């Protein structure tokens, strides 16, 4: 009897875990239905803005790297 108790507990908790997972997925789907998704124009505009910002930041970092490398070469001779 004592040996069956852990097995019984594992089986019951497994069912509970499955029910919890199913409830979670159902609630997640319900929440996703409430989301207001962006349209194609907004997604495209956001992508363009982010791409431009990434290019600007990359150029800035490259310039800083160039300046520091020139300074280091000048110091080390």
Q: What average pLDDT does the structure give for the chain?
A: 87
Whether 61 and 69 have beta carbons less than 8 Å apart is answered as no
pLDDT in tens, 53-65: 999 999 999 999 9
Which residues make Cβ contacts (< 8 Å) with residue 46, sequence separation at least 6? 38
Residue the block writes with tokens 């409430």: 34
pLDDT at residue 69, as a whole number: 97
> 0.75 exceeded by the pTM?
no
Tell me: pLDDT of 4 over 60.
no
């Amino acid at each position: 009897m004592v040996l069956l108790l852990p097995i019984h507990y594992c089986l019951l908790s497994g069912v509970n875990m499955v029910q919890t997972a199913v409830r979670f997925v159902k609630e997640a789907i319900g929440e996703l239905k409430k989301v207001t998704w962006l349209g194609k124009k907004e997604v495209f505009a956001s992508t363009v803005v982010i791409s431009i910002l990434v290019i600007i930041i990359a150029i800035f970092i490259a310039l800083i790297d160039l300046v520091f490398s020139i300074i280091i070469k000048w110091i080390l001779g």
